[in-house]
Amino acid sequence: MKTILVCSFLCLVALGCYTTVQCQTTGKHDFDTLCAPCHGTTGTGEGRDLSEANPPDITRLSRENGGKFPFEQVYRSVDGRDLKASHRRFGMPFWGEYLQRQDEKNSSTAVKQRITAIVRFVETLQK
């Protein structure tokens, strides 16, 4: 019985680590593809591909929010679908719409998971 509990625990830990790694890998890939051209690969805006963009340094989001990463705010900003009325939004694409259109088979849940993975990756960039 004890062996079964230990094995079950180890499997859950391994699965949790795998899910976190998978999320970070997917998030990093999407960040590198969608976000890095403007924000740079480090999130500071340095080394960006698009010179006309003037994006904020997203490595300081936690610091500017009292040391707490503003997950919901970043999620809404990356997704963009509920910010359409904002004139400030025109500089950044609506990635939620883009990901949905990219593959019509993507469910709303799959798009939310990809955006969550991007935001979790951005969280790892915090200084």
* pLDDT at res. 36: 92
Rounded to two decimals, the pTM is: 0.74
Give me the mean pLDDT over the 85-92 stretch. 63
> Minimal CA–CA distance to 117: which of 12, 35, 20?
20
Of 1.10.760, 3.40.50, 1.10.3470, 1.20.950, which CATH number belongs to 20-124? 1.10.760
Structure-block tokens of residue 106: 């993507």
- The set of long-range contacts for 29-36, using a CB threshold of 8 Å and a minimum separation of 24, is 30/114, 30/117, 30/118, 30/121, 31/118, 31/121, 31/122, 34/93, 34/95, 34/98, 34/118, 35/78, 35/118, 35/122
Q: Tell me the C-alpha distance between 126 and 122, whole Å.
A: 7
The tens digit of pLDDT for each residue in 50-87 reads 666 678 899 999 999 999 999 999 999 999 888 765 55
Q: Tell me the C-alpha distance between 99 and 79, whole Å.
A: 9
Structure-block tokens of residue 104: 């019509």
Looking at every residue in the chain, the average pLDDT score rounds to 80
* pLDDT at res. 42: 94
Structure-block tokens of residue 55: 């994006």
Residues 6+ apart with CB under 8 A from 87: none
